[in-house]
Amino acid sequence: MLATLISLAGLGLVMSFSPTLYALEVTVLTRADHPVRLSHVIVAGVLTGAAGMVLLLQVFNPDAWAQLLSGRVQAVLLQRGFDIVVGSAFVLVGVRLIARRREPRPERSKPRGRILESARTLFAFTSLNTLASVGGAASTYVALRLIREADGDLLLHTVAFAVFFAAIIAPYVLLLWGADRLPSLRARSEPAAEWLRAQPWHRIGGIALIAVGGVLVGAALTDWYGAA
């Protein structure tokens, strides 16, 4: 179970990785009138988007479908089918991301004023950004697979979900904590955010999606397959 929790923590960090949201968090901490309150809004938005992703991916829960079909199809066969479909989709999206040309980002003289001025707009933006993340979908799908396959009762599964969600918000909480206790960090955070934005994350994400998709499909088509 410890190995599963460590894996879930790593998947949570991957799920939360977003150069756009990291840069937005830095902008809030360095330029907003109420940085602490708006940082809490970002954390709430990321959590809401992640929870929405978990709920959406329950459509690939083989146990639920097995019950719906009155046991006529084994859950393990459904899981294999889901893994093949989802894994193939990840591979296709990954190839598309790698092949896509990156458009030059227009320079902005000012940060997104409306987002910084409205907590509701900020919450909606962070929630939708998290929910629409393809990389987040991949890491969440794998996390749900690990939780379903982990031996244990409801309490252990609850702990597993808690670890996953805690890892998702950890980067944003650490940014807020560091900016509050290390003022010099604020001056260095904006160049770091610009560096993040400048990296070819679409290609890196594409390679990661192809790897995850390949593992899912390969595991489903071979004997290397865990119990669902």
CA distances from 15 to 11, 167, 170, 183 (A): 6, 9, 11, 28
For every one of its 228 residues, what pLDDT tens digit does the chain have, with 9 covering 90 and above?
778 888 899 989 988 888 888 888 888 887 777 888 899 999 999 999 999 999 888 877 666 665 656 555 566 666 777 778 888 888 888 888 788 765 555 554 444 556 667 888 899 999 999 988 888 888 888 888 888 877 667 888 899 999 999 999 999 998 888 777 766 666 666 676 676 666 666 777 778 788 888 887 887 787 655 444
Q: Show me where the domains of the chain are located.
A: 2-221
87: nearest Cα among 138, 33, 155: 138
The rounded distance, in Å, linking the Cα atoms of 140 and 52 is 11
List, as one string, the DSSP characters of 98-116.
Answer: HHSPPPPPPP-SS--HHHH
For residue range 104-116, list pLDDT tens digits in order: 555 544 445 566 6
For residue range 64-101, list pLDDT tens digits in order: 665 656 555 566 666 777 778 888 888 888 888 788 76
Residue matched to tokens 């409205």: 118
Report the mean per-residue pLDDT for the chain. 78
CA distances from 196 to 61, 65, 95, 153, 199 (A): 35, 41, 22, 40, 6
